[in-house]
């Protein structure tokens, strides 16, 4: 095959596959596919498999590579489309801490936790880390400068429940609105990209509903 034709093929493969990557990243982060058609994605995945087989039969390397990567990304999105959206589970537990870095390093060194990058909201005086453990459990360590100024030393923050999807979280919120339950914050996207709302249980413990 002519080299120039091969270059055009590889460049086109990079562009078309790369264009699909932002949607895959967004779906993985938000776990939300409510605006995506399952029928369209089923046809799309079938077509990509067909193009992959076609590329293999023609020994067309750009087509093989591009469609192999795309079918993995599309398959991941398809998984979130077809899974039940009401898959509720405990997402994480949150604690307020005095020294965020010391606490983070403690859980990393003693329990081999993996840390997220630091979230810092300077205007609110709030910063946090998410720590992930090998079991899949997550711990959110939070520091609130205003909380420390007011001499509030309670370390308990909240327990977070994952609703499964944005649509499921919204449906749960609407059902809660009709009941005698205290709503602390309404559904919203936070500064660090989470979709959540917060309620109070009967004993005033905070329960965060996320996706």
Tell which of 64, 82, 100 closes a domain: 82
At 86 the pLDDT is 56
Residues 105, 58 share a domain: no
Tell me the β-bridge partners of 162: 89, 210
At 210 the pLDDT is 87
pLDDT tens track for 88-139:
677 788 888 888 999 898 888 867 889 999 999 988 899 999 998 876 788 8
Assign residue 99 the CATH number of its domain: 3.10.180.10
Tell me the β-bridge partners of 189: 195
At 115 the pLDDT is 94
Collapsed DSSP state (helix, strand, coil) of residue 39? helix
At 128 the pLDDT is 95
Q: Is the pLDDT of residue 28 over 90?
A: no
Residue 95: Cβ-neighbour burial (10 angstroms; 0-12, 13-18, 19+): middle
Assign residue 20 the CATH number of its domain: 1.20.1280.290
Residues 121, 104 share a domain: yes
In angstroms, the CA 166 to CA 179 distance is 20
Percent of the chain with pLDDT over 70: 86
Residues 168, 103 share a domain: yes
What's the structural domain count of the chain?
Answer: 2
pLDDT tens track for 52-101:
898 888 888 878 888 888 888 888 888 777 765 555 677 788 888 888 99
Collapsed DSSP state (helix, strand, coil) of residue 79? helix
Residues 46, 25 share a domain: yes
Contacts of 42 (CB under 8 A, 6+ apart): 78
Range of the domain at 40: 3-82
């Amino acid at each position: 095959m002519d080299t120039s034709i091969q270059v055009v093929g590889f460049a086109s493969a990079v562009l078309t596959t790369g264009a699909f990557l932002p949607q895959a990243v967004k779906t993985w982060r938000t776990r939300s596919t409510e605006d995506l058609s399952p029928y369209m994605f089923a046809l799309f995945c079938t077509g990509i498999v067909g193009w992959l087989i076609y590329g293999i039969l023609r020994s067309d390397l750009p087509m093989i590579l591009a469609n192999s990567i795309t079918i993995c990304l599309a398959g991941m999105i398809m998984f979130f489309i077809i899974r039940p959206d009401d898959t509720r589970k405990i997402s994480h537990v949150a604690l307020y801490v005095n020294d965020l870095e010391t606490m983070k390093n403690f859980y990393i060194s003693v329990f081999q936790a993996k840390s997220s990058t630091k979230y810092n909201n300077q205007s609110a005086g709030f910063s946090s880390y998410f720590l992930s453990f090998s079991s899949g459990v997550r711990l959110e360590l939070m520091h609130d400068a205003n909380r420390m100024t007011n001499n509030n030393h309670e370390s308990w923050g909240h327990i977070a429940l994952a609703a499964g999807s944005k649509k499921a979280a919204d449906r749960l919120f609407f059902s809660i609105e009709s009941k005698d339950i205290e709503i602390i914050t309404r559904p919203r996207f936070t500064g660090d990209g989470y979709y959540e709302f917060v309620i109070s249980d009967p004993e005033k413990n905070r329960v965060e509903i996320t996706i």
